[in-house]
């Protein structure tokens, strides 16, 4: 099967290679001249035989919107656009309607697998009309892992990215649980082989998982993680998951807490904790630490002989 791939970065490039290994013809476009097969989206479309299939694998937001808008101008009725990036599901419905008005189909696909997908395959969650999803089945079969699992037609337009959004929200919670467990083991000093403890959990336990395997790998490379700073970005799906939970009145305490933990990781000095420290001093005379790191007893605490720093 012939398919165009727009975006040949870490994910898109590996997906294109996996498709080629499976015997599919891939025409790729990327802004990096060392990666691209063609010089423009127009040339990409010209190289494809109707009905054309173009898979977009660029960052969510404006880059995806601009790419799909341009493809909408270049493609013809009967062609099909796939958004395989981490787009917000609400955007899928609008894009499908815009393309549909021109007779162009749209399928949204949540993709999971990261840099390991080239060899292991990608988990794919598709949203769209049955006819459009069926047309892409040979592509899905080549990209997914071997065996019966790894692909789902989750529902109509938007369902693929909604499923991937929830998947990533669950991922937030799982990572946070592993992180907190690691911190407690390290802090206790009771367990002297923390890395070995995690390694022992990889087989026979109920928490064995690929994430656990990756954590063991990370600890083998840096046993106390001293080479890293405790700073974690969020790519959007965690926020969207929490927003969707509010809209549907579904309690998500674990996923929400994991998202907030990432926010906290990016603060050099917590403004909220400054308020807590100030209030504890005001009502209980509790000692505080000044901005310069010096220690001061509370003004109203027994034996206090210093005042709070101004």
Same domain, 259 and 177: yes
Average per-residue pLDDT in the chain?
92
How many domains would you assign to the chain?
A: 3
Q: How would residue 56 be classed by pLDDT, with cut points 50, 70 and 90?
A: very high
pLDDT at 195 over 60: yes
pLDDT at 160 over 50: yes
Same domain, 72 and 212: no
Same domain, 295 and 170: no
Give the tens place of pLDDT for each residue, 252-278. 999 999 999 999 999 988 888 888 888
Same domain, 73 and 201: no
Q: Which residue has the higher pLDDT, 47 or 233?
A: 47
Q: What is the mean predicted confidence (pLDDT) over 30-52?
A: 97
Same domain, 149 and 171: no
Rounded Cα gap, residues 191 and 197, in angstroms:
8
Residue pair 50/78 in contact (Cβ under 8 Å)? The answer is yes
Same domain, 9 and 152: yes
Which residue, 106, 138, 157, sits at the end of a domain?
157
Same domain, 286 and 219: no
Residue pair 166/255 in contact (Cβ under 8 Å)? The answer is no
- Retrieve residue 218's tokens: 């990370």
Q: What is the pLDDT of residue 84?
A: 97
Q: What is the Rg, in whole angstroms, of the alpha carbon atoms belonging to the chain?
A: 25
Q: Give the list of residues 6+ apart from residue 301 with CB closer than 8 angstroms, or none.
A: 284, 285, 286, 287
Q: What is the mean predicted confidence (pLDDT) over 112-127?
A: 94
3-class DSSP state for residue 56?
Answer: strand
Give the tens place of pLDDT for each residue, 221-234. 999 999 988 988 88
Q: What is the mean predicted confidence (pLDDT) over 100-109?
A: 98
Instruction: Write a three-state SS string for 245-300.
Output: HHHCCCCCHHHHHHHHHHHHHCCCCCHHHHHHHHHHHHHHCCCEECCCCCEECCCC
Residue 189 bears catalytic tag: no
Residue 233 bears catalytic tag: no
Same domain, 129 and 190: no
Q: What is the mean predicted confidence (pLDDT) over 218-222?
A: 94
Q: What is the mean predicted confidence (pLDDT) over 294-302?
A: 56
Predicted model pTM:
0.89
Same domain, 212 and 299: no
Q: What is the mean predicted confidence (pLDDT) over 234-262?
A: 94
Q: What is the pLDDT of residue 176?
A: 96
pLDDT at 240 over 70: yes
Which residue, 128, 157, 186, sits at the end of a domain?
157
Q: What is the pLDDT of residue 298?
A: 57
Of 17, 43, 129, 171, the catalytic one is 171
Same domain, 254 and 278: no
Q: What is the pLDDT of residue 304?
A: 43
CATH code for the domain of 241: 1.10.1040.10
pLDDT at 306 over 60: no
Which residue, 157, 185, 213, sits at the end of a domain?
157
- Using CA atoms, how far residue 270 sits from 77, 129, 274, 281, 282, in Å, is 54, 47, 6, 17, 19
Q: Which domain holds residue 295?
A: 270-310
Same domain, 261 and 206: yes
Q: What is the pLDDT of residue 177?
A: 96
- Retrieve residue 115's tokens: 């840099």
Residue pair 29/38 in contact (Cβ under 8 Å)? The answer is yes
Residue pair 47/27 in contact (Cβ under 8 Å)? The answer is yes
Of 144, 164, 237, 297, the catalytic one is 164
Write down the residue that tokens 């904790």 correspond to: 273
Same domain, 147 and 30: yes
Rounded Cα gap, residues 36 and 57, in angstroms:
13
Q: How would residue 289 be classed by pLDDT, with cut points 50, 70 and 90?
A: confident
pLDDT at 213 over 90: yes
- Retrieve residue 152's tokens: 């789902």
- Using CA atoms, how far residue 16 sits from 11, 29, 34, in Å, is 9, 11, 15
């Amino acid at each position: 099967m012939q398919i165009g791939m727009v975006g040949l970065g870490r994910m898109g490039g590996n997906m294109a290679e996996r498709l080629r290994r499976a015997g599919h013809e891939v025409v790729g476009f990327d802004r990096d001249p060392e990666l691209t097969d063609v010089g423009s989206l127009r040339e990409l479309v010209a190289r494809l035989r109707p009905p054309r299939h173009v898979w977009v694998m660029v960052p969510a937001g404006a880059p995806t919107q601009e790419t799909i808008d341009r493809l909408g101008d270049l493609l013809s009725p009967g062609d099909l656009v796939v958004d395989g990036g981490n787009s917000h599901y609400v955007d899928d419905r609008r894009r499908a309607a815009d393309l549909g008005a021109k007779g162009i189909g749209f399928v949204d696909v949540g993709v999971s697998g990261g840099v390991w997908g080239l060899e292991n395959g990608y988990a794919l969650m598709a949203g769209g009309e049955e006819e459009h999803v069926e047309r892409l089945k040979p592509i899905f079969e080549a990209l997914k892992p071997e065996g019966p699992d790894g692909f789902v037609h989750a529902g109509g337009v938007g369902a693929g990215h909604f499923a991937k959004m929830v998947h990533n929200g669950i991922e937030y919670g799982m990572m946070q649980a592993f992180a907190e467990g690691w911190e407690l083991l390290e802090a206790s000093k009771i367990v002297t082989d923390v890395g070995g403890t995690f390694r022992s959990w990889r087989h026979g336990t109920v928490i064995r998982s690929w994430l656990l395997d990756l954590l063991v790998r990370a600890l083998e490379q840096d046993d106390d993680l001293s080479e890293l700073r405790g700073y974690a970005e969020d790519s959007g799906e965690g926020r969207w998951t929490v927003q969707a939970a509010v809209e549907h009145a579904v309690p998500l305490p674990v996923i929400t807490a994991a998202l907030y933990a990432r926010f906290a990781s990016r603060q050099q000095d917590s403004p909220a904790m400054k308020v807590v420290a100030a209030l504890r001093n005001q009502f209980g005379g509790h000692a505080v630490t000044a901005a310069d790191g010096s220690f001061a007893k509370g003004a109203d605490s027994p034996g206090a002989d210093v005042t709070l720093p101004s």
